[in-house]
Amino acid sequence: MQLNDAKMEFVQTWGSIGSAWGIPRSMAQIHALLLASNEALSTEDVMETIKLSRGNVNINMRELINWRLVSKQNKIGERKEFFTAQTDIMSMAQNIVEERKRRELQPVLSLLSKLKNEELEGNEEEVAHFKQLMQELDDFIKQLDQLSEIWLKLKDNFFFKKMIKTMS
């Protein structure tokens, strides 16, 4: 298989995986292309390689920068901006976990905390059922939050890295 064919297969598969995880397919494809490239790419390079519009690339590139998965670079003598992906896989995973916590877990925890402490009016059995549900969801989401915190702290732990290697 030719290298370019392998890269494009990776880009397509990463796009499908990203889509399954709730990330726009084009965002995941751009990320994959930058990951697989050993040189910084311009917006035009990305547009040409994976056949996306300038607007789509620009929006998704900004979002990838916000997630700290991609960084912008300037080249001397070039007016274009160039982009590279974070290539340390553990750092990349840490950035994703931190961002998902901030965007997904924290808002849900705030909502559940508010709802479980709210004075609700209505049928007593339904109110009790709802309160119970809010408490159980709150407990579960807090456990997910704690697990993600533990994982983030273990990222640089020598023993954790050794354990992962022995498991694989």
**Amino acid occupying residue 105:** L
Of residues 29 and 93, the one with the higher pLDDT is 29
Give yes or no for a contact between 75 and 125, defined as CB atoms under 8 angstroms apart.
no
Q: Is the pLDDT of residue 19 over 90?
A: no
Query: Which DSSP state fits 105?
Result: I
For residue 156, name the pLDDT band (cuts at 50, 70, 90).
low
Q: Could you tell me the residue ranges of all domains in the chain?
A: 3-85, 89-167
Distance CA 158, CA 138 (A): 32
For residue 143, name the pLDDT band (cuts at 50, 70, 90).
very high
40-53 pLDDT per residue, tens: 999 999 999 999 99
82-102 pLDDT per residue, tens: 999 998 888 888 888 888 889
How much of the chain exceeds pLDDT 70, in percent?
92
What does the pLDDT average to over 124-132? Answer: 90
Distance CA 23, CA 32 (A): 13
- Report CA dihedral (84, 31, 142, 136) to the nearest 10 degrees: 170
pLDDT recorded at residue 69:
94
Largest CA distance in the chain: 71
The mean pLDDT of the chain is 89
**Amino acid occupying residue 74:** N
pLDDT recorded at residue 14:
92
Structure tokens at 35: 């990951």
What does the pLDDT average to over 61-83? Answer: 91
Other C-beta atoms within 10 Å of 118: how many?
12
Q: Is the pLDDT of residue 12 over 70?
A: yes
The yes or no reply on domain 3-85 and CATH 1.20.120.140 is no
